[in-house]
A and B are shown apart, each in its own frame.
Chain A
């Protein structure tokens, strides 16, 4: 009886009712983000374990497929690697001696302050935005592991992104190549300030643009681009990439440089989250 009555509701009216719900939710989430956070949290509690499980299945499958790779190739590679290993072991002793020397020199110049050792935690990516428009992904650490909104995310090679939403057991990260991302950075040893703009279009061609460099700045090919100390969201000294070319802007006031990123965004599985956050100043 109940079902019968339900069927009588015209789809048109249902459409109107649901549209109103959608619009109301949009307005609420735009103006009061905290009000809808419980909804996200609640759904996330059900979905993220499933996603992590599916990700594990994917990893397992990936491993199994790789086992079927050519054994001969592996043997050959093994031999080569062994040779390399002995060479590296020889090198290691030398490097260690040099490292000790470097450390004493650093202590001498008090450079420790400049490259502080940030507290980090490892996390794994378990889900990514598949729309092709945005570069966002989910990691399996959240508030319970002291990962808060605004934490920087890096991998071995350099800066990856920043945590934009954090929940109990997982967090959402926006990559620096996302079209909406902007990073204040500095170039070279002189530390000229610039703004690294994330861009879908440029990233497709393999570079990002560093804009608003002072026109008098001397920027050359190969200069290292790192996060700046004046950035209010990114910690100082994380590698972003290297300059490949530089150009004077038509306005004759600024320069724009093309930079190649050190991180390969097409093959990332494990990331490091820096637990220290940038000090905030309320003006």
Chain B
């Protein structure tokens, strides 16, 4: 229960930061994809099931505010959470390199799907431009944010685990 509430609060916080503060007063703003970082982190820290569920709800918020339909981003986030969950076995608390590499691949996948679905299908074929001007800055931004935020998530995860163990002992 404690875990569900914490994840819920984290989702809302990430969404707020992403949608408001990082692009403050800038309609053409690019912000790090904090919801994706959250999905990825809980995917590799807790496994496929939790990664998938976190992605599901992150995608739900993303769809409602940034999308026109409800569903596509939900599906995308969920798949990413599920796939990242497969790295759970490799998970080491001290390792920062792996999540950064995973988030870069995730971002590339995420942006590529958006590009194909919303730009390529409308005959915007200049892939190189979109790669260098939209995807790359976003990837860099998100990767940088991951380095900082991931530590925090690991700490929260550790704290929650300790609490659960304490409860079991009692």
Give A165 to B17 CA distance when docked, in angstroms.
22
Q: Is the CB of B85 within 8 A of A11?
A: yes
Bound Cα distance from A22 to B77, whole angstroms? 11
Given contact pairs A11-B52, A36-B70, A268 touches B20 in the complex (Cβ within 8 A): no
Produce 1/0 per residue, B4-21, CB < 8 A to A: 000000001001111111
Are B23 and A25 within 8 A (Cβ)?
A: no
A81 within 8 A of B: no
Known contacts A11-B85, A43-B61, A58-B20; A125 and B75 CB within 8 A of each other: no
Interface of B is mostly: helix
- Least CB distance from B12 to A in Å reads 7
Interface contact tally, CB-CB below 8 A? 151
Selected from B24, B71, B111, the residue in CB contact (under 8 A) with A58 is B24
Q: Mark B54-73, 1 if CB is under 8 A from A, else 0.
A: 00100111001110011110
Which of B17, B21, B71 lies at the interface centre, i.e. has the most chain A CB atoms within 10 A of its CB? B71
Q: Is A23 an interface residue (CB 8 A)?
A: yes
| A36 and B124 alpha carbons, distance in the complex (Å) | 30
**Does A234 count as interface, using CB distance less than 8 angstroms?**
no
In the assembly, what is the distance between CA of A36 and CA of B69, in Å?
A: 9
Residues of B contacting A192 with CB < 8 Å? Answer: none
Mark interface residues in A128-161 (1 if CB within 8 Å of B CB, else 0): 1111111111100000000000000000000000
Tell me, in angstroms, the Cα distance from A25 to B59 when the chains sit together: 12
Segment from A12-20, A94-102, A112-120 that makes contact with B: A12-20
Q: How far is the CA of A28 from the CA of B71 in the complex (A)?
A: 9
With an 8 A cutoff between CB atoms, is A62 at the interface?
Answer: yes
Complex Cα–Cα for A138 and B27 (A): 10
Evaluate contact between A25 and B27: CB separation under 8 angstroms: no
Chain A at the B interface: SS class:
helix
Contact code string A16-53 (vs B, CB < 8 Å = 1, else 0): 00110011111111100000100110011001001100
Q: Which of B16, B33, B66 contacts A54 (CB 8 A)?
A: B16
Q: Which residues of B contact A130 (CB under 8 A)?
A: 18-19, 22-23, 29-31, 33, 66
**Bound Cα distance from A180 to B119, whole angstroms:** 9
Identity of the chain A residue whose Cβ is nearest the Cβ of B30 in the assembled complex? A132
Residues from chain B with Cβ under 8 Å of A14 in the complex: 49, 52-53
Offer 12 A-B interface pairs, CB within 8 angstroms, sorted by A. Answer: A15-B82, A18-B56, A19-B78, A47-B61, A47-B64, A127-B20, A130-B23, A131-B66, A131-B138, A133-B118, A200-B134, A201-B133
Q: A128-B26, A131-B114 are in contact. List 10 more A-B contacts (CB 8 A).
A: A11-B47, A11-B49, A22-B75, A26-B75, A36-B70, A39-B64, A47-B65, A134-B118, A135-B28, A136-B66
B positions within 8 Å CB-CB of A: 12, 15-31, 33, 47-49, 52-53, 56, 59-61, 64-66, 69-72, 74-75, 78, 82, 85, 111, 114-115, 118-119, 122, 124, 126, 129-130, 133-134, 137-138
The 6 closest A-B pairs by CB, nearest first: A26-B71, A130-B31, A25-B71, A22-B75, A11-B48, A132-B30
